[in-house]
Structure 1
Amino acid sequence: MIKIKQNTANKRILQIAIPSIISNITVPLLGLIDVTIVGHLGAPSYIGAIAVGGMLFNIIYWIFGFLRMGTSGMTSQAFGKQDSNEVTRLLIRSVGIGLFLAFCLLLLQYPICKIAFMLIHTTDEVKELAILYFYICIWGAPAMLGLYGFAGWFIGMQNSRFPMYIAITQNIVNIIVSLCLVYLLDMKVAGVATGTLIAQYAGFLMAILLYLRYYKPYKQHITWKEILKKKAMNRFFQVNRDIFFRTLCLVIVTMYFTSAGAAQGEIVLAVNTLLMQLFTLFSYIMDGFAYAGEALAGRYIGAGNQIALHRIVRKLFLWGFGLSLAFTLLYLVGGKAFLGILTNESSVIKEANSYFYWVLAIPLAGFSAFLWDGIFIGVTATRQMLISMFIASACFFGVYYIFHHLLGNHALWLAFLIYLSMRGIVQTYLGRKVIFL
């Protein structure tokens, strides 16, 4: 059994974590670029349309994120076993299922749009433009869901650099094409949507080319009978089913957090939105280390190397604890100044001061949940991950409903922190059984 040295363990973690962090940071840029372009067209309805359309697609693609996560864990295990045939089969399964789901979205685009805009209340002008945005961008579903398969596969192959290259390429293409369509052809919202669409397919094409260029040993002939083996397909769907329901719980909690804040007035909504930006920034960093957990934990489980697995888990938690302390200090020193950059509304900033201490507790309360998610995905302990998310979500709603009449918006933040903490606590209990047997 091969042992890995301490410095080697840190190096392998950072080799996956740093490109993943860069990729995570570039993700919101696609939406930010679109908003920036239409923000100079002279009508607020353009901004509203992009915001509504972008939010809708974020929810749709977020729900299908299991394609990336499930593929990453299973691929890293096959990589650890040095099973080249299964590695290739997993890529074909994941991308194939992603394309099938995208085809279903295209077929159902009209009812999806109809139901979505029954639930989203906005002005007629914004609604008309947002629907136009939706009907253009929905054709990017094959590229996006196909990319999920490739991104998970690359990470499982211990390569987070390729997803980073793809994300950067998408942003460059989106900027150039959108600017040309909006300002040279006067296509406005349609131009921004088309630019996003072209950028998505540019990323998908790049993923295919990178695979063909750098993974020649894996381009062997595999029959559909091998790919569609019942046992392998059952495992694939079982893993992804658990991740799907886990993600659904996460989406419900996140959306309810926003909705409950909105019900308390526009000031509270604005405050919660701004403070959540600090959580989002922290999550981009921790997700990078979670990806490292996916790739490395799966690799060592696949190789049967328990010593290396335990060492990587310990190292990940040392990184997580250190970074959470650093973020707590960073927010303590500069967090309020950062809020001042995001808005100059004095009423919002004043109200935010009342809730700011909740943000200081987020890094230490939440870092273990991120890391365990990555480790559980890597070892495909997805049922345990679903159980922990279900318990944490139940705690979130229980705490909020018990205390919201007494504490108001403070109850919402208290519930959110308990939700983050419970995920980590339950996962630690279950993780000891999964990892340290």
Structure 2
Amino acid sequence: MIVQSTNIINKRILQIAVPSIISNITVPLLGLVDVTIVGHLGAAAYIGAIAVGGMLFNIIYWIFGFLRMGTSGMTSQAYGRHDMEEVTRLLLRSVGVGLLISACLLVLQYPIRRLAFTLIHTTEEVEQLATLYFQICIWGAPAMLGLYGFAGWFIGMQNSRFPMYIAITQNIVNIAASLCFVYLFHMKVAGIAFGTLIAQYAGFLMALLLWARYYGGLKKHIVWREVLQKQAMLRFFRVNRDIFLRTLCLVIVTLFFTSAGAAQGEVVLAVNTLLMQLFTLFSYIMDGFAYSGEALAGKYIGAGNRPALHHTVRQLFVWGIGLSTGFTLLYLFGGKAFLGLLTNEASVIREAGNYFYWVLAIPLAGFAAFLWDGIFIGATATRQMFYSMLTASASFFLVYYSLHGWMGNHALWLAFIVYLSLRGIMQAVLSRKILYQS
């Protein structure tokens, strides 16, 4: 009986994790396709413009990622309670708030752009081209933030296949549209931007069609006056506020990591950027299992099924330990060869060898933080998640500024490892109240 229930739990974990991993892997493909196309147009400024513009939108949308995460946790709990009225209202709230935020971004696009290029120092030509890219792609904000609501809602409904279908569709449309605009209409950077814009709205349209086709029956549960019910809206904003503040801490640490590396010279910046690709690869996989934690933890908490919740958490950590051990061995034996695929610059590869052992520590130090994030989101324990992130972020800066004078770039990597580890440790301590409360 125990073996059978373990197999069922593992099957449910993988049903959500695998499509989510595929979706995660497609995300960088959008940017990679754009860079590849402009990389053949004959001017480095085109590549710089796409890189700067893409980074700016990554930061903007990253900050508003709470729309996906908060929706996922609350929807999975309502789904576990079989509360289809609240399930439907949550989608309307999330997409509605996303559209409202996007309207604010459109209205404030000029000051946002001016502030961004005040902080980002680049050549005049790159700034002009990146400005053109920004002015076109900002109109995709309604589609992107609306999609966050749909993606979180689908995952909360235990369905990560639809976000995967949407991500794959966006990639196909982006490639076709960008190639058409650039090579048939000779639009260069503007063509890349329009290709991205069309792909974003294609994804949003597909989300609407999938919902109408497979969840259209929920329309009978819509009572518009209850969508804006005061207590429900207060909970919605409380959960999303905590996730927003948590994400802000994450963005600050990530940007500082890049900035601190850049301050130590071009070679160190290049080394840190390349080594961080190994962390990014690991994060794509672990995020898939975090999504399983969101969906399943929320579902079992909503249903009041504590034994299934505890069993799911245990199995998530079995997967986490196995995957982190596998990635450590993979990086130990193949990591340096992977770096050789990314660059043939001998000085960078040689310098990377001095810091490579920090990368080996990342999987085992960081896997718990990913899994607990998913579980806490599913439990809507977002205040505890924020406190853990705040403490870990403070430790990052404390370690770095205490040691960088005599450890240099090693202090930056040690601070990052401490930051990852402390997130997982604090959440493990705080989890007992979440997992065992009545």
Tell me, yes or no, if the aligned pair for 2:85 and 2:221 is still in contact at 8 Å: no
Task: After TM superposition, give the deviation of residue 433 of structure 1 in Å.
Answer: 1.7
**Gaps in structure 1 of 5+ consecutive residues:** none
Which residue of 2 is the match for residue 94 of structure 1? 94
Paired amino acid for 1:331: Y
Task: After TM superposition, give the deviation of residue 278 of structure 1 in Å.
Answer: 0.1
Tell me, yes or no, if the aligned pair for 1:67 and 1:145 is still in contact at 8 Å: yes
Matches within 5 A, 1:355-434: 355-434=355-434
SS of the residue 2:220 aligns to: coil
Which residue of 2 is the match for residue 79 of structure 1? 79
Within 2, Cα distance between the matches of 1:83 and 1:325?
40
Paired amino acid for 1:363: P
Within 2, Cα distance between the matches of 1:415 and 1:424?
15
Tell me, yes or no, if the aligned pair for 1:72 and 1:295 is still in contact at 8 Å: yes
User: Is 2:190 aligned against 1:190?
Assistant: yes
User: Is 2:316 aligned against 1:316?
Assistant: yes
Paired amino acid for 1:337: A
Paired amino acid for 2:396: F
Within 2, Cα distance between the matches of 1:176 and 1:427?
44
SS of the residue 1:158 aligns to: coil
Tell me, yes or no, if the aligned pair for 1:50 and 1:189 is still in contact at 8 Å: yes
User: Is 2:69 aligned against 1:59?
Assistant: no
Within 2, Cα distance between the matches of 1:436 and 1:344?
53
Spell out, residue by residue over 1:34-88, the C-alpha distance to the aligned partner (whole angstroms, 9 max, x if none).
0000000000000000000000000000000000000000000000000000000
Tell me, yes or no, if the aligned pair for 2:137 and 2:194 is still in contact at 8 Å: yes
Task: After TM superposition, give the deviation of residue 435 of structure 1 in Å.
Answer: 1.0
SS of the residue 1:5 aligns to: helix
* C-alpha distance 399-393 of structure 1, shift in aligned 2 (>3 A): same
Which residue of 1 is the match for residue 205 of structure 2? 205
Task: After TM superposition, give the deviation of residue 223 of structure 1 in Å.
Answer: 2.7
Deviating more after overlay: 211-220 vs 95-104 = 211-220
Paired amino acid for 2:10: N
Tell me, yes or no, if the aligned pair for 1:4 and 1:308 is still in contact at 8 Å: no
Deviating more after overlay: 4-13 vs 303-312 = 4-13
User: Is 2:200 aligned against 1:236?
Assistant: no
Which residue of 1 is the match for residue 336 of structure 2? 336
Paired amino acid for 2:264: Q
Which residue of 2 is the match for residue 176 of structure 1? 176
Within 1, Cα distance between the matches of 2:180 and 2:267?
37
SS of the residue 1:215 aligns to: helix
Task: After TM superposition, give the deviation of residue 221 of structure 1 in Å.
Answer: 4.8
Spell out, residue by residue over 1:352-391, the C-alpha distance to the aligned partner (whole angstroms, 9 max, x if none).
0000000000000000000000000000000000000000
User: Is 2:127 aligned against 1:127?
Assistant: yes
Within 2, Cα distance between the matches of 1:405 and 1:330?
32
Tell me, yes or no, if the aligned pair for 2:21 and 2:285 is still in contact at 8 Å: yes
Within 1, Cα distance between the matches of 2:13 and 2:31?
29
Within 2, Cα distance between the matches of 1:310 and 1:434?
11
Tell me, yes or no, if the aligned pair for 1:25 and 1:284 is still in contact at 8 Å: yes
**Gaps in structure 2 of 5+ consecutive residues:** none
Within 2, Cα distance between the matches of 1:224 and 1:404?
56
TM-score computed with the length of structure 1 as normaliser: 0.99
Within 2, Cα distance between the matches of 1:221 and 1:339?
53
Paired amino acid for 2:251: V
Cα RMSD of the aligned pairs, angstroms, is 1.0
Deviating more after overlay: 399-408 vs 223-232 = 223-232
Aligned residues, how many?
Answer: 436
Paired amino acid for 2:253: V
Task: After TM superposition, give the deviation of residue 436 of structure 1 in Å.
Answer: 2.5
SS of the residue 1:220 aligns to: helix
Structure 1 residue ranges (4+ consecutive) displaced by more than 6 angstroms after TM superposition:
none
User: Is 2:262 aligned against 1:271?
Assistant: no
SS of the residue 1:389 aligns to: helix
Within 2, Cα distance between the matches of 1:417 and 1:98?
34
Within 1, Cα distance between the matches of 2:43 and 2:94?
42
Paired amino acid for 2:42: G
Which residue of 1 is the match for residue 346 of structure 2? 346
Within 2, Cα distance between the matches of 1:343 and 1:221?
55
Within 2, Cα distance between the matches of 1:424 and 1:433?
15
Within 1, Cα distance between the matches of 2:413 and 2:220?
52
Paired amino acid for 1:225: R
TM-score computed with the length of structure 2 as normaliser: 0.99
Within 2, Cα distance between the matches of 1:8 and 1:216?
29
Tell me, yes or no, if the aligned pair for 1:72 and 1:153 is still in contact at 8 Å: yes
Which residue of 1 is the match for residue 150 of structure 2? 150
Paired amino acid for 1:276: M
Within 2, Cα distance between the matches of 1:342 and 1:247?
29
Within 1, Cα distance between the matches of 2:238 and 2:268?
40
Task: After TM superposition, give the deviation of residue 351 of structure 1 in Å.
Answer: 0.2
Task: After TM superposition, give the deviation of residue 4 of structure 1 in Å.
Answer: 7.8
Tell me, yes or no, if the aligned pair for 2:84 and 2:221 is still in contact at 8 Å: no
Within 2, Cα distance between the matches of 1:111 and 1:425?
40
Within 2, Cα distance between the matches of 1:258 and 1:110?
26
